[in-house]
Copies of this chain bind each other. A is one copy, B any other.
């Protein structure tokens, strides 16, 4: 009898209670010192360090990054832009989206199933910037069938991952 594929994906990491607490602590403050976390968890600093390194190496932690307030840097306007690609141009999507992704003001990109092909989260100065962005990077591209822009009044992070 052949070995069957397991229920759990092979690259899924099992997290114990300590791992989860570490992820929560570092999610709140990625610069928390190893010592303070070890103390709070009641484990040795070296153990704590090994845990964090292991979370990095296993790819659970992709990177340590920043949460920047767009308003404070003059990007007071956020928008979600829903984009449909022409059916005949689907094969260009990954090239196209990569160009879009790195444009000034693009904070994230979702590839979607359903009627829209992707959603773009934009943080810019004002509505002129949105218009300009759509004109320059979307409408101008023959692969784009249509776009629909919704203003974002507020953008909040979710709860902890674990």
Q: Which residues of A contact B (CB under 8 A)?
A: 8-9, 11-13, 15, 23, 26-31, 58-74, 76, 80, 97, 101-114, 116, 119, 121, 123, 150-159, 161-162
Contacts and interface: CB of A to CB of B under 8 A. Distances in A.
B80 A69 contact: no
A66 B155 CA distance: 18
- Decide if the interface of chain A is mainly helix, strand, loop or mixed: mixed
A130 to B, nearest CB: 12
A42 B161 CA distance: 38
B101 A159 contact: yes
A137 B9 CA distance: 28
Nearest to A105: B158
A94 B42 CA distance: 38
B72 A13 contact: yes
A118 to B, nearest CB: 9
A40 to B, nearest CB: 17
B159 A104 contact: yes
A123 to B, nearest CB: 8
